[in-house]
Amino acid sequence: ERQIGAGGMGVVYQALQASLNRSVALKVLPANLRTSPNALARFQREIEAAARLRHDNVVSVYVSGCDEGNSYYAMELIDGPALSEVLAGLRRDPIPDLAGSIPFQRKDSAAESPSMSERPAWLTAFLTASSASGDDLDSPNRLADLGASAKVGATYFEVAALMLAEVADALDYAHRNQIVHRDIKPSNLLLSTDCRLHVSDFGLARILAEPGVTQSGDFVGTPFYMSPEQISSEVGEIDGRTDIYALGATLYELLTLRPPFPGASRDEVLAKIMREDPVPPKRLNKRIPRELETICLQSLAKEPAQRYQSAALLADDLRRFAAHWPIAAKRSGIAVRSWKWCRRHSSMAASLAAAVGLGVVAVVLAYNAQQSTKEKALAEKQRDAVAARASRIEQDLKTAKAAVIRARQTEQERVFEQALLAAMRGDQQAVQQALIDAEKLGASEGRLLVLQGQVALYSASYRQALEKLEEAVRLMPENLGALALLAETQARRSQASKSWELLGKVRQLEPQSV
């Protein structure tokens, strides 16, 4: 019937399933990905993962198939927006509970938010508070029962907690069925008119005990919700706790209207995820309840072992908070925070500890220098030990410095990032300079073409973007990033073309309506 969404790995249409006379969402693999083994495997994995699950808060898959080379599957049509659209509206028109939050403008917040009088029922129910008691909140939490006439803002945090508790239920069900979603974020949580959040898009899902098709570093989309173990395998294995981290990042954004680690570039965000702690939500908005902040920060722990060990435990704590019961999560004391810091900065911590030890030994040596010859000999021996320790400290510092250098983006990647950021700002002069610099740094022809295609796409120059990306795919036929960008460009160009065609028809009709 009509296109309702498009991305690098598929185009989604609202369609009618004639056999059952019901509306469905139909996802189709783009034509340019039909011959890519990796793309086909990922699409099939998405279908298999979603089809295994039957849960009220998971978008159901009805049927899949291939028609004349077109791979597709039909799924449940959710009649509301994504949670990312709700957040975009809240950034522009915050309710009282969020008025103290520091605004963070995101690319997905460009659309105008409706006024209170224009908001649809689902948004009114989400943003209004409940006059119900704690017992009511502890009962099966149908948010439709909250009522649109309740006092605005009073229980926004309880409503958010209850809605995410249902998402945690769905994730726990998926994990018990050996499926890790790996891409939980607001845009993949769809809000239906009965105020249920539904988990969608299992394109990056991993079926445990089966080989994956998504390689390290091969991901499309925002990095704001990625866990440390998705960035570096040294942190730990990817499992259900990876989804818990992403849901914690989503909760953080619902509380503060910004992600836990904002940044101007992907590399900056990833570096912060690995090395920094998120700003405690209450520093950004004093209205946030302490218990909900504790739940959020435990979900965002760097090490999987420090998070909730199951999504069911997270769901239970969210409901305990909403019912005004004691939660299981405990705030980290200064000793625990110091220990975590030392674990993340082991080389620096070792150097600091050694430096403190060096100072203590130096004092002892000064005292021993005044003692007998035997004691002086002992002092010399201790001094040698100190020298050896100092040498180890120096080596630790060199190792730490080398690790930092490896962690930094290469000069070529930095220039690519500058080009894309300049394109977003509309600074064509900076874009051209960045392209020249990238070529001087020896970027391959294929990568340059992909970059030029991205720049053109950001500028809505779809024809130029298609030319560059088609040439890039010709040079790199198995590059999923180039294929995904080409598919997205084709979808956007098609959508724009239909809009112009419709506008032309309207203009033809104007004289007749005067």
Instruction: Return the structure tokens found at 417.
Output: 């990032």
Query: What is the sign of the dihedral through the CA atoms of 512, 504, 11 and 108?
Result: negative
Distance CA 465, CA 444 (A): 18
Handedness of CA 80, 82, 85, 89 (dihedral sign): positive
Q: Among the options 169, 183, 243, 316, which is catalytic?
A: 183
The DSSP line for 76-137 is E---S-BHHHHHHHHHHS--GGGTTSPP---GGG-SPPPPTTT--HHHHHHHBPP---HHHH
Q: Is 144 within 8 Å of 195 (Cβ atoms)? A: yes
Cα–Cα distance for residue pair 369/122, rounded to 1 Å? 79
183 classed as catalytic? yes
- For the chain, helix, strand, coil in percent to 5 are 55, 10, 35
Buried b / exposed e over 363-388, threshold 16 CB at 10 Å, is: eebeebeeeeeeeeeebeeeeeebee
Phi/psi of residue 139, each to 5°?
-75, 170
| Lookup result for tokens 């039957």 | 54
Q: Residue 208: name the closest of 37, 8, 52, 9 by CA.
A: 52
Q: Cβ distance 217 to 144 under 8 Å?
A: no
Ramachandran angles phi, psi of 202, nearest 5°: -95, 30
> What are the tokens at 224?
């704001």
Nearest one of 322, 292, 329, 325 to 140, comparing CA atoms = 322
Q: Which residues pair with 222 in a beta bridge?
A: none
Q: Classify each residue of 3-36 as buried b or exposed e, where b means 16 or more C-beta atoms within 10 Å of its C-beta.
A: eebbbbbbbbbebeeeeeeeebbbbbbbebbeeb
Residue 5: C-alpha distances to residues 66, 84, 343 (Å)? 20, 14, 43
- Which residues are identified as catalytic? 183
